[in-house]
Amino acid sequence: MATGKLIKQKPSEQTEVWEYENYFRKKWLYKDTQWLENHIKMLADIGPTGYVIDHGFDDNTMWIDTKKIKGQIADTFAQTDEFVSRITKFCLDHYKETKPYAHFDWKLNNMIVDNDEITLVDWDNCAVIQEGQVIDKMESDLKKSFGVKFDTKKFRDSVSAKNKDASKKSPTEKIKFVLELYSDYWANPPLVEIYIDEESKHKSFIKGTKEKPDVITFEHELTEGQTWKLMIDRYNKGEKDTVINAKGDILHDQLLHIKSIEIDDIDIGALVYEGVYKPSYPTRWALQQKAAGNILPTTLKNVTIMGHNGTWTLTATSPFYMWLLENLY
């Protein structure tokens, strides 16, 4: 049997990386077979060709074996203007190819350069993530990698140009949206980004109260016959934002509330309960729930309180008044 060498450990994430002669093994010191199977399927769909060699699990651990990619790690190259532009363009183009999935870890040591080809490795964080968060994280990773050589304005201009090219449609109606949101928090407020489809319309920390909620207003042009989605992406909640005593009682928490939604000067009222909430559960807590025999739903309806990071989505069609008549009565 081949002998491997331990080359990386992250005790906080319960992971190890082992190097063998012809492959690497990523090992998790816990078992979540559903996540593993979903991750393998995702890699088969959008990962590098032939990247996964094997995978498996035993009673307490799971692993994925991946081939060694030919080339040099990107952080060994001289950071010339040309190289910075090349890496930035690669990251944006790669995300365009994998959307709605995003690799979500664009550190230079996760990129292998072989002549004209660049390959991303370490796909643990890859998931379906809203575009605003993706662009923020990509900008943050590239800025950390390149420092002052990374041109933030040029990066944002490039993102805007790509979005404009992708959204050339013939609008038939301009709709006004008004959302009232508020939060409960003791340390850090929830951060919210609101989208119509993939276009970000608003982003802010929500600090309002039930009596005086934050009021968010924007307009959007819609195409007749178009199915569109209003999405509230809620994040910025960490494990320390929930405080639990020895009895299991929650002493402090961070919650986001949807108080009301008005579209085209009409309060949609109970239709807010038609929204679908897809929570992103904390990994450690989710594993504890699974070990206790509790099944966590992947989506929820009838939700106006978002206790976990995640996305709330209301799907409708244009013309809006027709959709409203069909669904309100």
pLDDT digits (tens, 9 = 90+) for 76-109: 999 999 999 999 999 999 999 998 899 999 999 9
Looking at residue 1, what is its pLDDT?
A: 55
CATH 3.30.200.20 domain span(s) along the chain: 5-67
Looking at residue 164, what is its pLDDT?
A: 63
Tell me which amino acid residue 28 is: W
Reading the block at residue 35, the tokens are 């996540």
Looking at residue 161, what is its pLDDT?
A: 76
Looking at residue 51, what is its pLDDT?
A: 95
Range list of H helices, 107-237: 131-146, 152-166
Which residues lie across from 119 on neighbouring strands? 112
Taking the alpha carbons of 262, 264, 266, 269 in that order, is the dihedral positive or negative?
negative
Mean pLDDT by 10 residues, the chain (329 residues): 86 92 94 92 93 94 96 96 96 92 95 96 90 90 95 90 60 88 96 94 96 97 90 93 90 96 94 95 87 92 96 94 83
Cα–Cα distances (Å) from 173 to 36, 231, 320, in that order, read 44, 19, 9
> What angle is formed at CA 298 by the lines to CA 311 and CA 167, rounded to 5 degrees?
40
User: Quick one: how many helices (H) and strands (E) in the chain?
Assistant: 6, 22
Looking at residue 162, what is its pLDDT?
A: 67
Looking at residue 224, what is its pLDDT?
A: 85
Looking at residue 131, what is its pLDDT?
A: 85
CATH 1.10.510.10 domain span(s) along the chain: 72-166
CA 278/CA 49 separation, integer angstroms? 30
Cα–Cα distances (Å) from 189 to 192, 201, 208, 281, in that order, read 10, 19, 10, 18
| Cβ contact 164:189 at 8 Å | no
CATH 2.60.60.40 domain span(s) along the chain: 173-328
Topology adopted by domain 173-328? Lipoxygenase-1 (2.60.60)
Q: Which of 60, 57, 54 is nearest to 20 (CA)?
A: 54
Topology adopted by domain 5-67? Phosphorylase Kinase; domain 1 (3.30.200)
- Residue 142, CB-side half-sphere exposure with 13 Å CA sphere: 24
CA 184/CA 182 separation, integer angstroms? 7
| Cβ contact 18:4 at 8 Å | yes
**Per-residue pLDDT tens digits for 234-280:** 999 998 999 989 888 999 999 999 999 999 999 999 999 999 999 99
Looking at residue 165, what is its pLDDT?
A: 60
CATH 1.10.510.10 fits 72-166, yes or no: yes
